[in-house]
Amino acid sequence: MSKDRRKTLGALPPRETGYEVGYAKPPEATRFRKGQSGNPRGRPKGSKNNRPALHEERLKGIILDEAYRGIEIREGDRSLTVPMAKAVMRAIAHNAVKGKHFSQRLFAQLVGEVESANFMLNKEWFASAVGYKDEWEHELARRKRHGITDLPDPIPHPDHVLLDMTTGTARIAGPATKEEKALYERWAEIWVEYQTDIPMMEGWLKSRRGAKLDELRNTITVLRKTQAILDKVLPPDMKNAALAREQEEEEAEREGRESG
């Protein structure tokens, strides 16, 4: 192509390197570099993967994180670190006390909603406990009538579900899972052992002399405290069952010695 023809078409003159700039041939300074993004301020790599999955509610997690994030507040002459939600509620309560009507209405509304929710939860829990206890008492009575002894007892046992009809509250005074039942049974065994071990140690304390008596007294004190805790925590039926097992084992050992 002649120089006159290029001027007529408006094309740029050829570069000294011989690279001609024109259609589909941008200047070298503006061309993409190998390994360099053509849109450095665009969407970050992998940003699509940061979207929450269909089963996630990530915004709730963010809200809860902020609600319970520690924040420093002043209370008199000291600084306290409390959750954000507590700081906000405290500010609302303080404004309500100062006579700000919006804060008063909001505070009364929040307190009423929380009390109502707690009441409904307790009502549902109490009704469930009453139904559970009634059904299992009937089932255990049926088993006893028909001499069924090969079925396991329910956990929790209906005897451990304590109902207070005056206050409308229910609580479980015993194991609520298989793991807890195993733990309670071990505690009951220890409680039974203490019935023998503590009196025996107290007899040693009266009949012995020596420098180790203080250590023995301390051991007895610790065992007595532990026994009192177990006596309070363990349900009566579990203590009675542990005592019965202990007596059966002693009788079996005695019979074994006599027969031997």
CA distance 212 to 184: 33
Rounded to 10°, the helix 84-97/58-67 angle is: 60
Name every residue whose Cβ is closer than 8 Å to that of residue 122 and which is 6 or more positions away in sequence: 168, 169
132 and 184 within one domain: no
95 and 132 within one domain: yes
- Predicted local distance difference test score (pLDDT) of residue 257: 80
pTM for the model stands at 0.62
Please indicate, yes or no, if residue 260 is contained in any of the structural domains. no
E-state strands within the chain: 70-75, 78-83, 161-164, 169-172
Look up the domain containing 192 and give its range. Answer: 175-252
Contact 58, 52 (CB under 8 A): yes
Please indicate, yes or no, if residue 156 is contained in any of the structural domains. no
187 and 134 within one domain: no
**Beta carbons within 10 angstroms of residue 118's beta carbon:** 10
What's the domain count of the chain? 2
Please indicate, yes or no, if residue 98 is contained in any of the structural domains. yes
> pLDDT 10s digit of each residue in the chain, 260 long?
555 554 554 554 555 555 556 666 666 666 666 666 666 666 666 555 677 787 888 899 999 999 999 999 888 889 989 999 999 999 999 999 999 999 999 999 999 999 999 999 999 999 999 999 999 999 999 999 999 999 999 999 999 999 999 999 999 999 999 999 999 999 999 999 999 999 999 888 887 776 678 888 899 999 999 999 999 999 999 999 999 999 988 888 888 887 76
In angstroms, the Cα distances linking 222 to 78, 79, 125, 172 are 40, 40, 38, 28
Of the residues 125, 146, 167, which one is the last residue of a structural domain?
146
Contact 191, 230 (CB under 8 A): yes
129 and 71 within one domain: yes
CA distance 69 to 16: 64
Of the residues 129, 146, 163, which one is the last residue of a structural domain?
146
CA distance 42 to 62: 25
182 and 245 within one domain: yes
120 and 191 within one domain: no
Contact 242, 188 (CB under 8 A): yes
E-state strands within 103-246: 161-164, 169-172
- Predicted local distance difference test score (pLDDT) of residue 136: 96
Please indicate, yes or no, if residue 9 is contained in any of the structural domains. no
Please indicate, yes or no, if residue 165 is contained in any of the structural domains. no
Q: Could you identify the residue written with the tokens 């299992």?
A: 136
223 and 186 within one domain: yes
User: Residue 11 is which amino acid?
Assistant: A
